[in-house]
Amino acid sequence: MADLGPSTHSAREGASGMSCTSNAASELESGIAASLSVLLLDEPVLSVRVLDTHRRDHRFARVRTGDQRELFVKAFHASAAAGFEAEASAYQQLAGRDLSPRLLRIDWSMRLLVMEARGSTRLRDLSARPLRAKLEAVPTLYADLLDLRSVRPSRDYRARLAHHVRSLAGVPQLHDLPSEKVIADLVDAMAEIPVHGDFQPSNILVDDETLVIDFESFGLGVPAVDVARVAYNPTIDLSAPERSALAAEMLDRVRAKTGVQTSALQFAAACCYWAITCAGYFSTVAADDPSAARSSDVALLSRRPLDLAAELWNEGH
């Protein structure tokens, strides 16, 4: 398979629609087609369409086969091998549970995942009544993932937070949040269990059934951060009471499934942690890639999470 090129933006906080160069896309199309011709045996590959993304450590493609099946392919750069292994493990454990698209093939040497294509509408694409209808399934969907097993080491929340605080130096919204030490101390003290790690509106499919995708961040972590990542994500338009109610229901499901309890103070800190790491990540994306800076999603996610987290934190302080 063609190499994916230099790896950048390796800390995932969500996807948006940037495009790779036409030459890189062409190389990847050829590489994926060649790999799939081996993986799918007698089934010919009719077309490969590389999807636009700002990511450089992996690529996505939609594939049409000779029997008119639509497949979704994810190819990982060598530097993202840990993410590939985590995602493959999660999909293998989810086999037959209809919580995610079905994994069809794994190429361990080429770091390639082949899955069935199960629609393209994400939770973030919805608004008003359709959004609220689909949100009803989200707490149960998240709780159903919490029995997966992972041997991936826990995240270094303190180091990651420090990195993104530095990347946001001079951003005025940081003054409305608690100190880096307060956030890190509270998050570090919270119980860790195997979590999705990037449970957010772009990773929830809602065409027919509600399904979750993108498990490259799967591993030990704090579930409250995942809850904040979806409930306080500005890509879905909810009122403050709706965000609070969604978070409360998700945390209740986490407690019922795992016994992990989260206080209001702990959740506010988890939300601040997510907001800073999200804003820091997308600020870096915008600085590194001029085309990304023009994306409305990148602009939104590089600042608005800080406002939402500050509102939540200062509500109780």
- Domains of the chain by start residue, with CATH: 22-116 (3.30.200.20), 123-315 (3.90.1200.10)
Question: Looking at residue 256, what is its pLDDT?
Answer: 98
Residue holding tokens 């399934």?
137
pTM for the whole thing? 0.88
Nearest to 139 by CA among 117, 153, 125, 123: 123
30-42 pLDDT per residue, tens: 656 556 655 654 5
User: For a pLDDT cut of 70, what percent of the chain falls above it?
Assistant: 86
More confident call, 24 vs 69: 69
User: For a pLDDT cut of 90, what percent of the chain falls above it?
Assistant: 66
Question: Looking at residue 45, what is its pLDDT?
Answer: 74
Nearest to 312 by CA among 282, 283, 280, 269: 269
291-309 pLDDT per residue, tens: 777 788 999 999 999 999 9
Does residue 206 register a pLDDT over 90?
Answer: yes
Specify the pairing of strand 204-205 against strand 193-195: unpaired
Q: HEC string of 224-290?
A: HHHHHHHHCCCCCCCCHHHHHHHHHHHHHHHHHHHCCCCCHHHHHHHHHHHHHHHHHHHHHHHHHCH
Most confident of 24-28, 42-46, 212-216: 212-216
Question: Looking at residue 119, what is its pLDDT?
Answer: 83
Phi first, then psi, for residue 153 (nearest 5°) are: -60, 155
Rounded Cα distance between 110 and 124, Å, is: 31
Does residue 63 register a pLDDT over 60?
Answer: yes
Give the least confident one: 52-56, 80-84, 246-250: 52-56
Which residues lie below 8 Å from residue 176, measured CB to CB, with a gap of 6+? Answer: 306, 307, 310, 313, 314
Query: Region 279-288: what's the mean pLDDT?
Result: 92
8-28 pLDDT per residue, tens: 333 333 333 333 444 544 555
- Other C-beta atoms within 10 Å of 80: how many? 22
- Please, what's the b/e burial string for 223-242 (b: 16 or more CB within 10 A of its CB; e: otherwise)? bbbbbbbbbbbbbbebeeee
Question: Looking at residue 65, what is its pLDDT?
Answer: 82
Nearest to 75 by CA among 39, 123, 120, 124: 39
Does residue 143 register a pLDDT over 60?
Answer: yes
171-187 pLDDT per residue, tens: 999 999 999 999 999 99
Does residue 85 contact residue 60 with C-beta atoms inside 8 Å? no
Question: Looking at residue 30, what is its pLDDT?
Answer: 60
Rounded Cα distance between 190 and 267, Å, is: 10
Phi first, then psi, for residue 67 (nearest 5°) are: -95, 20
More confident call, 207 vs 65: 207
Which residues lie below 8 Å from residue 157, measured CB to CB, with a gap of 6+? Answer: 184, 187, 188, 222, 273
Question: Looking at residue 317, what is its pLDDT?
Answer: 66
Rg of the Cα trace of the chain? 19
